[in-house]
Every structure is written in structure tokens, then in C-alpha cells.
Amino acid sequence: MKTIKNENTAAYYFHQGTSDAAYLYLGCHMEEGEEGFLYTFRTWAPNARAVSLVSDKTGWEEGLPFSRITERGIWECCLSSKDSLEGMPYKFRILSPTGVSMKGDPYAFYSKGGSDGASIVVHNSRFVWEDEAFLSERKKRAADKGGLFASSPLHIYELHLGSFMRKENGEYLSYRELADALASYVGYMGYTHVELLPVAEHPFDGSWGYQVCAFYAPTSRFGTPDDFRYFVNTLHKAGIGVIIDWVPAHFPKDAWGLYEFDGQPLYEYQGKDRMESRSWGTRFFDLGREEVQSFLVSNALYFMREFHIDGLRVDAVASMLYLDYDRLPGEWIPNVYGDHRNLEAIAFLQKLNERIDAAFPDVLMIAEESTAWGGVTHSVKDGGLGFDMKWNMGFANDFYRYLSTDPLFRRYHHTALNFPLMYAYAEHYILPISHDEVVHGKKSLLNKCFGNYEDKFATFRAAMMLQMSYPGKKMIFMGTEYGSFKEWDYQTGLEWFMLDFPMHRGLRDFVRALNELYLKTPALFELDFEQKGFSWVLADEGEKNAVVYRRFDKRGRELLAVISFSGAPQTLSFTLPNDKYAVVFDAHGARTAQEYKAENGVFTIHLSAYDAIFLVPKEENASVTL
């Protein structure tokens, strides 16, 4: 990693909010010479009266003093040593009008985390990357005229590193151990990407990584920064992309973190109307402050440059966009136009996505935005936020409620199946089965499904086929694929022993076969974001809890989906342009290669309870069969 040579320029860009590599200037940097090692430490603390470096080398009381080098609050100190200080823990002792605080380095590349939070000196990475072929293929996909991954298969396996798998004694697996296990399993299952819950250092396990204190430091729970590089490299060599959850909305109030860094609000908003989240107990980033913009934009690019990350899923975007988010009437102040839009946040997100697109046009930017905000995935030049994709949380929540409803009453909730197509092309959507929906009493996806043991499995298979064949890219949370009954618990590993039971092993094998079909069937992904890729056949069969629709690829090749969530057998009749279809996949594995022929122009298909089949016109059968 190179360091900044022109310090005046680096400081200027940082203060202007235009730096996209602030981590090369701030934080700890080493130069090696004939007489030993020179370490330069810099931090931003405009409200501090004094700053000092405390460590084993300098002492943990007064430490080595910094000098203030810019009017807007950058401080610097240099430490010479004949011996390498790599691995040395350190903190910044900050004296402010409100007292003394001991802070971790906001730009530290490695941190102890936990309640201590000491930063750790690391030298330049020694890791040798071997993912050139993967990155080259990534660039080819980004060059597609339809947009990044628009016409490519994208099926994400979301996971939490601390609970995907653990050792027999309950200890964490390391980044390297996890890499080898995941490359094998995810590759076998046919997912294109993994998405990691936040990997940046966070003190509290129970936050799942969403309350970050050291934004530039991959968590030390699983190893070193180079160990994390090994993780990404190993997945890339297996042909699997790596997306990470990124949290630019807020941060916790742990004493060693960003919270009131120099004795008063600095990284967070200063006004009470914007400062804090009532529900999370965290502080919101001041997205209008130039130095905070430099911090966050640089952080996003840092993970792309230093760790070859293939995408960021930006957490809690709605909390950034709305001034009244999580606030009662009278607790927020309207913007200059008199409404509830956070204009600084809008400008920041647009700046972020434009910078990412300029530097890494082949990296995905995904928004977790839970409202109907318009233009999340529209280009900035057209007034949008500039994201590549957005989670379709409305579809997911409605669909889960539908699956949990007694089939006798699903007729009253049929809009869960047909309404999503009313807005499917308003944004570039991902259809998520995420961690948020399998905790806190919400039940696992299998257990959400209404009915007895067998009914749940049958409903689950039909649900997987619907998700796979609706427009939009796909995502599933770890453990869902084998039908975990237990809710996700971040404190323990997944119950992989469930695969010893035939029903669960069979479900895992079903999902794998469905993934394989997806990857080789362009009709299921090439036109996800274009209306010509979808056509209803039966949209309003609410009485039968059924839908029938066609998906198309760019060459006009078709896949027909016939899906019923009825608890009783059903017969569906409809007309199609072609007169003969063959089954290429079905929910029960009993009809593959069966043919259906129209009689007097009408197809009649008999379905069992909780049934689904995929078909193709007979003459196209060879192009998509397994």
C-alpha cells in the first residue's frame, strides 16, 4: 500500500470532502530506512486541545505528543524505532474541553476490537493475489450494455462468518478455514456470490457486525487483514464473488470508537434532531460534513482496492434519506423545501456511487432501502441515487406472510403473488431471503410455511421455484437451503447435522438442482430488468392459489412457470402460442421430461397440493434440460 507523498494536497482534499484515499494519509504509515523504521501517525480532531500517541513504546499515560498541522484539525506525530513495531497496540489520547478520552485510530487497518479497541500497527501487505482470471471476467460482465450483472445470473448466498460453521469446541473458524469450507460448499451448491454480514471491527457480537467502531479493520475475530485477503482470493479462484455489508449510516457509542471523538460530536451530526437513533442507540454520520464524506468514500474504495471486494450492500439507506426516520412529530426539522428528505444524505449517496462507478465500474453497489423512495437504482444524471440494485423487501415481506397463511384463506392474499409485477421494473431488484427475516421470533423460512411437516417442505419447494422464476436477482440466507427449522442464532454454528435427515438432505439437493437450472437457463436471468422478459398467463387465479407466467431470454426462448400454493389438487387451463411443452423441472421430481400438448388450443395441467413445474416449448427442450 502506497502512502501519500504530497501532504498538503492530501490534507486539502480530505478537508474538501473530495479525497477517495484518505487512509493513505491519515492513520499509521511506515517507512523503512537504513537506520530503522519511521512511523507517522495522523488523525483528525479539530476540537482537541492536545493529542498524544500511547502504546507499549511510548507509555500508556501521557504518551508521545502530536502537533496540529492544519487549521481544520489534523494532528501528526512521528515515532522512530530501530526495530519493527508491527503488531504493536496503540491508541490516541485526546485532551478536550470535556476531559480525556482514549480512542482507537479511525483509520487503523487492524484492531483488537472488543471492549479494549486498541489499534494494531501493520506494515504493507505481503499477500500475493491469484485472482486475475476472476477479475478479468468481472470486467467483461460489467461491460455488458444492459448494465452491471443486468443480463447475468446473480444468486447470492448471504452469511454471517461467526455462525456459518464453528469448531466442535464452539470456537470460531479462521478466515482461512472459512474460505476453504465456503469455496467448496458454495461452489457445489451453485451460488454466484457470497454476501457477508459486516466484517469491519465491531465490539458487540450481538450487533451481528452492524455497529462498527473500526471501519478500516476487518475484524480480528477470524484473523489478520492478510487472512481476509486469503478468504477473498480463495473464493475468487473458485469463481465466487464476495459482497460485504457496509454501514455508512451510523456507529455505536463505545468509548474507544468514533463517538464524540474529540470530546464532542465530530463524525456524528451535532443537532439533536439528527444525531441519534432511538431504536439502535447509535449515532448517525454527519453526511454533510466534508471530512466525513472523505472518510466514508475512502472506506468503500479501500475494501475494493485492498481486498478486491466485488460489491457493497449498503445498510439502512432509509435511515439516511429521511429526516423523520425513527422520530416522532416535533423531533425533526424539515429541510429548506419544507419536507423530510435529508438533502445532504442524497448528495452523499450520489457522490459515493459516482466515485465507485468511476473507479470500479465492475463492482456492485446494492441498497438495502426499505421504503418506496423513487430512483434508488436510477442514474445520478437522471436524478437517481445511482445504485446498481436494491433489495425488494416489500416482495419478501408480503410473500412470507402469504406462505404462513392457511391455504384456505390465501385467496384473500393473492396480491402477494401478482402485485409485485406492478412495480417489478421500477428499480433493479434483488429478491432477498435475508438474515433479518429469520430471527427475533419471525421463524426460519421453512418454519414460516403453514401446515404439517410434509406440507412445509412442499410449500418451501414451490416458494423456491417462484423466487427463482420471478424477475429480479436472487439471494438466500445460510441454512435456508437445507430447511433449518431453528431460527438463526449468531452465537452458535448452523445445525449441519440436519443433513443427516433425508427430508433436509433432499431439500438441499433440490435447491442445488434448482440453482443448476437457473445458471444454465438465460430466460431466468437475462431480462430481469426489462418488461419483455415476463408475461402473465394466469395472474388472478386467487381461488386456486396459483399463478402461471412466461419468462424469456434475449433470443425469445421461453420458460413457462406453473405454480400452486393450494393445499388441495388443482386443475389449470390456459392457452399459449405453442402447442406442445415439456417439463424441465418440478417441485416433486416426478414429472421431468413429461410432455403436455394443447387440446383444441387449450392446455390442461393437473397439479397436486403445493406444486410447481417449469416447462419449455418442445422444440427448445434441448437447450435447457439438466
How much is the pLDDT for 441? 82
Residues 220-229 have a mean pLDDT of 98
Task: Say if residue 474 is in the same domain as residue 549.
Answer: no
Same domain as 617, residue 535:
yes
Report whether 65 contacts 75 (CB < 8 A): no
Q: What is the pLDDT of residue 626?
A: 35
Which CATH number is 72's domain given?
2.60.40.10
Per-residue model confidence as pLDDT tens digits over 347-406: 999 999 999 999 999 999 999 999 999 999 999 999 999 999 999 999 999 999 999 999
The domain total for the chain is 3
Collapsing DSSP states into helix, strand and coil, what is residue 341?
strand
Query: Is residue 177 domain-shared with residue 245, that is, in the same domain?
Result: yes
Q: Residue 619: pLDDT band by 50, 70, 90 thresholds?
A: confident
- On the question of pLDDT at 537 being above 70, the answer is yes
Question: What tens digit of pLDDT does each residue of 21-36 get?
Answer: 999 999 999 999 888 9
Give residue 391's Cα distance to chain centre.
9
Same structural domain, 50 and 172: no
| pLDDT of res. 2 | 60
Residue with cell 436472487: 474
Do residue 480 and residue 564 come from a single domain?
no
Percent of the chain at pLDDT above 70? Answer: 97
Residue 575's CATH number: 2.60.40.1180
For residues 496 and 601, state if they share a domain: no
Q: Is residue 141 one of the residues assigned to a domain?
A: no
Looking at residue 546, the DSSP 8-state letter turns out to be: E
- Domain containing residue 156: CATH number: 3.20.20.80
CB-based burial, 254-274: b 16+ in 10 Å, e otherwise:
bebbbbbbbbebbbbbeeeeb
Q: What is the mean pLDDT of residues 546-568?
A: 97
Q: Give mean pLDDT, residues 284-302.
A: 98
Q: Does one domain contain both 115 and 31?
A: yes
Q: Is residue 596 part of a domain?
A: yes
Q: Give the pLDDT band (50/70/90) at residue 624.
A: very low
pLDDT value for 140: 87
Mean pLDDT over residues 423-438, rounded?
A: 94
**Domain final residue, candidates 104, 120, 136:** 120
- Residue range 273-301: mean pLDDT, rounded: 97
Distances (CA, A) of 16 to 161, 258, 293, 578: 37, 20, 9, 62
pTM of the model: 0.95
622: pLDDT strictly greater than 60: no
Cβ-proximal residues to 256 (8 Å cutoff; 6+ apart), any chain = 91, 102, 103, 104, 116, 117, 118, 203, 213
Q: Is 166 helix (H, G, I), strand (E, B) or coil?
A: strand
Q: How far apart are CA 374 and CA 618, in angstroms?
A: 41
- Domain stop point among 120, 137, 168: 120
Residue 7 has pLDDT above 80, yes or no: no
Mind listing the pLDDT tens digit for each residue in 591-613?
Answer: 877 999 999 999 999 999 999 99
Q: What is the pLDDT of residue 3?
A: 58
In a shared domain, residues 198 and 265: yes
Examine the pLDDT at 141 and tell me if it is beyond 90.
no
Co-location of 559 and 499 in the same domain: no
Q: Examine residue 132 and state whether it is found in any structural domain, yes or no.
A: no
- Which one of 520, 548, 575 terminates a domain? 520
What pLDDT score was predicted for residue 147?
66
- Mean per-residue pLDDT of the chain: 95
**Distance separating alpha carbons of residues 285 and 287, to the nearest angstrom:** 6
Q: Are 213 and 156 within one domain?
A: yes
* pLDDT at residue 207, rounded to an integer: 96
Q: Quick one: pLDDT at residue 439?
A: 85
144 lies in a domain? no
pLDDT at residue 53 greater than cutoff 50: yes
Strand, coil or helix: 46:
coil
Q: Are 559 and 474 in the same domain? A: no
Question: Would you place residue 569 in the very low, low, confident or very high pLDDT band (cuts 50, 70, 90)?
Answer: very high
Which has the higher per-residue pLDDT, 625 or 8? 8
**What's the whole-number mean pLDDT along residues 51-55?**
98
* 541 within a domain of the structure (yes/no): yes
Residue 525 maps to a domain:
no
Give the model's pLDDT for residue 591: 80
- Provide the pLDDT confidence category of residue 621 given band limits of 50, 70 and 90: very low
Please provide residue 593's backbone torsions phi and psi, each rounded to the nearest 5 degrees. 80, -5
Residues 514 and 536 in one domain: no
pLDDT above 90 (res 625) = no
- Contact predicate 213/198, CB 8 Å: no
When pLDDT is averaged across residues 434-454 and rounded to a whole number, the result is 92
User: Quick check: is 358 in a domain?
Assistant: yes
Rg (CA), the chain: 26
Establish if 147 belongs to a structural domain.
no
Q: Which domain holds residue 469?
A: 152-520
Q: pLDDT tens across 579-593, in order?
A: 999 999 999 887 877
**Catalytic residue positions?**
315, 368
